[in-house]
Amino acid sequence: MSSILLVIQFVLAIVLTIVILLQKSSSIGLGAYSGSNETLFGAKGPAGFLAKLTFALGLAFILNTLALGYIYNKEHKSSIVDTVETTKIPAPSVPAAPEKTSSAPAAPKTK
């Protein structure tokens, strides 16, 4: 199921990109290559149709993304950290402090 949704996600991304690039902008974009499509979509031209199509494709893309996330989370509940084997390394032993055999003179006694 997730592989089908993943293929749909790629197709939606490509089609959404093409539809966005076909829309008219201040520099016309790729809409200049659409020829005489303006009579096909009505009096306003393709602007209204492409805007509605972009919205529908964007909504489908977002819903597909959420479905993919939910299915992937459901299938893979374990983390990669759960598969790592851990071993306890013993702490290094600290050598005992040597006995104080000071050769320093004793402190003078106060009266």
The confidence score (pLDDT) of residue 38 equals 47
SS3 string, 82-104, reads HHCCCCCCCCCCCCCCCCCCCCC
40-47: long-range contacts at Cβ-Cβ below 8 A with a sequence spacing of 24 or more?
46/22, 47/23
The confidence score (pLDDT) of residue 60 equals 96
The confidence score (pLDDT) of residue 79 equals 72
Report the chain's mean pLDDT, rounded to a whole number: 78
Helix residue spans in 32-84 (DSSP H): 46-75
The confidence score (pLDDT) of residue 91 equals 79
CA distance 74 to 32: 46
pLDDT bracket for residue 101 (50, 70, 90): low
CA distance 19 to 17: 6
Percent of the chain with pLDDT over 90: 28
Interval 12-56: pLDDT, tens: 999 999 998 888 765 555 555 555 444 455 555 566 888 889 999
The confidence score (pLDDT) of residue 42 equals 55
